[in-house]
Structure 1
Amino acid sequence: MQDALRNPCNQALLDGLVDLHLPDAWLVGGCLFQTVWNLLDGRAPGAGIRDYDVFYFDTEDLSDRSEQAVNRQAQTLFSGLGVQLDVRNQARVHTWYAAYFGRPCPPLQNSCEGVDRFLVGSTSVGLRREAGHIEVYAPYGLDDMYRGILSPNPRVDHGLLYENKVRDYQARWHWLSRPDPAALAAARQNL
Structure 2
Amino acid sequence: MRALGRLPLDEQLAALRTVLSRNDVLLEVLRRTAALGLPGWYVTAGCLFQTVWNVVTDRPPQAGIKDYDVFYFDDGDLTWAAEDAVIRAGREAFAGLPAEVEIRNEARVHLWYEEKFGVPCAPHTSTEAAIDSFAATTCCLGVRLEPDGRWRVYAPHGLSDVFGLVVRPNPVLAPRAVYEAKTARWREQWPELTVLEWPAGR
TM-score normalised to structure 2 length: 0.85
Instruction: Look up the SS of the partner of 1:79 in the other structure.
Output: coil
Aligned to 1:99: 115
Q: In 1, are the aligned partners of 2:144 and 2:151 still within 8 Å (CA)? A: yes
Q: In 2, are the aligned partners of 1:14 and 1:128 still within 8 Å (CA)? A: yes
Aligned to 1:159: 176
Instruction: Look up the SS of the partner of 2:26 in the other structure.
Output: helix
Amino acid at match of 1:141: G
Amino acid at match of 1:24: G
Aligned to 1:173: 190
For the pair 1:136 / 2:163, whether they are aligned, the reply is: no
TM-score normalised to structure 1 length: 0.89
Instruction: Look up the SS of the partner of 1:103 in the other structure.
Output: coil
Q: In structure 2, how many angstroms separate the alpha carbons of the residues matched to 1:80 and 1:52? A: 14
Aligned to 2:76: 60
CA separation of 1:155 and 1:176: change in aligned 2, threshold 3 A: same
Aligned residues: CA RMSD: 1.9
Amino acid at match of 1:65: A
Unaligned runs of 5+ in 1: none
Instruction: Look up the SS of the partner of 1:82 in the other structure.
Output: coil
Amino acid at match of 2:40: D
What do residues 3-30 of structure 1 show as CA deviations (whole Å, max 9, x unaligned)? 1222111111212222212100100011
Q: In structure 1, how many angstroms separate the alpha carbons of the residues matched to 2:81 and 2:98? A: 24
Instruction: Look up the SS of the partner of 2:47 in the other structure.
Output: helix
Instruction: Look up the SS of the partner of 2:112 in the other structure.
Output: helix
Count how many residue pairs are aligned between Structure 1 and Structure 2.
184
Q: In 2, are the aligned partners of 1:71 and 1:85 still within 8 Å (CA)? A: no
Q: In structure 1, how many angstroms separate the alpha carbons of the residues matched to 2:132 and 2:120? A: 16
Q: In 1, are the aligned partners of 2:117 and 2:174 still within 8 Å (CA)? A: no
How far apart are 1:139 and its partner, in Å? 1.2
What do residues 113-150 of structure 1 show as CA deviations (whole Å, max 9, x unaligned)? 11101111112100011242101111111111111111
Q: In structure 1, how many angstroms separate the alpha carbons of the residues matched to 2:197 and 2:84? A: 41
Amino acid at match of 1:168: R
* One of 2, 20, 28 as aligned partner of 1:4: 20
Aligned to 2:36: 20
Instruction: Look up the SS of the partner of 1:32 in the other structure.
Output: helix
For the pair 1:69 / 2:85, whether they are aligned, the reply is: yes
Aligned to 1:32: 48
Amino acid at match of 1:50: K
Unaligned runs of 5+ in 2: 1-15
Instruction: Look up the SS of the partner of 2:172 in the other structure.
Output: coil
After TM superposition, what 4+ stretches of structure 1 lie above 6 angstroms from structure 2?
A: none
Higher relative contact order (CA 8 A, sep 6+): 2
Q: In 2, are the aligned partners of 1:121 and 1:154 still within 8 Å (CA)? A: no
CA separation of 1:17 and 1:76: change in aligned 2, threshold 3 A: same
Q: Percent identity?
A: 40
Higher mean C-alpha deviation, range 122-131 or range 51-60:
122-131
Q: In structure 1, how many angstroms separate the alpha carbons of the residues matched to 2:77 and 2:168? A: 34
Amino acid at match of 2:176: G
